[in-house]
Amino acid sequence: MHPSPARIRTARLDLVPLRVEHADEMAVVLGDPALHTFIGGSPADADALRERYRRILAGPPEPGVSWCNWVIRLRDARPPRLAGTVQATITPGANGPLAEIAWVVGTPWQGRGYASEAARGLVAWLASQGARTVVAHVHPDHTASAAVAAAAGLAATDVVHEGETRWELALRG
């Protein structure tokens, strides 16, 4: 399984494959230091994001691994605008391809269900691409992110990795 990210459409969102040109708008979207409370680091400026996006788009160094990254575009905003990101790292797994997913929605758009909608769209796309397991790692104090994982069909496990709880969904083959 070596998918390339394709546009994913949900009820209110377009998940658009990441491009370097998204860096300027995403620097604003991701600019609130509060977004980094659970993920660490600090906001990146547009130049740093352009460099990060170039590395991401060059692909992973490991054979058999795929990096799939999207920006979240709100169709209901006028004009449509970016509000966050979703991503999946797809690796070979014992029971078939495993996708580790993550999401972030900018502070002004939180609490509106956008992250849950984007995560559900991503999981459905991963299932259509042949993924067999979807996992996410969520800080135990990040209740909003836990709600997103649950909305996407994942369930918390007893596994803790680097202080985060592993959430998992087994997809049918």
Is the per-residue pLDDT at 77 higher than 90? Answer: no
Query: Is there a contact between 103 and 84 (Cβ–Cβ < 8 Å)?
Result: yes
How sure is the predictor about 80, in pLDDT bands with cuts at 50, 70 and 90?
confident
How sure is the predictor about 1, in pLDDT bands with cuts at 50, 70 and 90?
low
Give the SS3 label for residue 142: coil
- For residue range 110-158, what is the model confidence (pLDDT) as tens digits? 999 999 999 999 999 999 999 999 999 999 999 999 999 999 999 999 9
The values of phi and psi at residue 67, to 5°, are -105, 120
For residue 2 the two structure tokens come to: 């070596």
**Quick one: which of 156, 78, 77 has its CA closest to 112?**
77
How sure is the predictor about 103, in pLDDT bands with cuts at 50, 70 and 90?
very high
- For residue range 22-47, what is the model confidence (pLDDT) as tens digits? 999 999 999 999 998 888 889 999 99
How far apart, in Å, are the Cα atoms of 172 and each of 36, 149, 150?
Answer: 34, 18, 18
How sure is the predictor about 76, in pLDDT bands with cuts at 50, 70 and 90?
confident
**Quick one: which of 46, 48, 43 has its CA closest to 32?**
43
Give the SS3 label for residue 4: coil
Contact partners, residue 88, CB within 8 Å, separation at least 6: 66, 67, 68, 99, 100, 101, 122, 126, 131
